[in-house]
Amino acid sequence: MQHFALTIIGRDRPGIVSSTAEILYQLGCNIADSSNNILGGQFAMILIISHPTITDRDEIEQAFSQLEEQGLSVFVRTLKPGGEQRPELPGELCMISVYGSDKPGIVYQVAKVLSENNINIIDLNTKLIGTAERPVYVMMCETLLPENLETDELKAMMNELKNRLHVDISVRTVTPVEL
């Protein structure tokens, strides 16, 4: 079975998810994994989809021409075998929350410390909240610690960064729930 990465981006409006799901349903595609978000005023969606007989990404792109006519950008990428599977990653899940004045470099500084310590970022979201007069930058980062790193060590690293960036940073472990 061939797997594809499908990305759709465009000005947010109601109905984008429904229209996308309808096209995929009519094609006979299965949605294996997905992420949807509003970034600024833009809707962004990425899906990992599969089909038992379609092997050409152009066939999928053509099915989405009606969405492109409505101002959305659609991109399809063929995945190499195994690219659709979420790897088993050992380690402890941690959530890092950052709150502070909006300024350049927050994501970079946090991501740099994580990368230097072989900490995998599984999910990262940022938002600007508050008012125009008092904006607050929020970053939520789900991470996976390598087996040789303790949560207290990560907390110490983030505490140093907290003092350097003058933001509030908290770290908590996450207990995964199996369904």
Cβ(96)–Cβ(141) under 8 Å?
Answer: yes
Which CATH number applies to 2-78?
3.30.70.260
Return the pLDDT at 131: 87
Average pLDDT along the chain = 91
Say if residue 160's pLDDT is above 70: yes
Question: HEC profile for 79-106?
Answer: CCCCCCCCCCCCCCEEEEEEEEECCCCH
Return the pLDDT at 179: 44
CA-to-CA separations, 14 to 18, 38, 92, in angstroms, rounded: 9, 11, 37
The string of pLDDT tens digits covering residues 54-113 is 999 999 999 999 999 999 999 999 998 876 666 676 788 999 999 999 888 999 999 999
Sheet holding 135-144, edge to edge: 120-130, 135-144, 93-101, 168-173
Helical spans, DSSP H, in the chain: 16-27, 57-63, 65-69, 106-116, 151-165
Pick the CATH number of 93-173 from 3.30.70.260, 2.30.30.100, 2.40.10.10, 3.30.360.10: 3.30.70.260
Cβ(23)–Cβ(67) under 8 Å?
Answer: yes
Q: What whole-number percentage of the chain has pLDDT above 90?
A: 77
The angle formed by the CA atoms of residues 101, 104 and 109, to the nearest 5 degrees, is 95
Confidence of residue 43 (pLDDT cuts 50, 70, 90): very high
Q: What is the pTM of this model?
A: 0.76
Domain with CATH 3.30.70.260 in the chain: 2-78, 93-173
Better pLDDT: 32 or 85: 32
What's the rounded mean pLDDT across residues 20-43?
Answer: 93
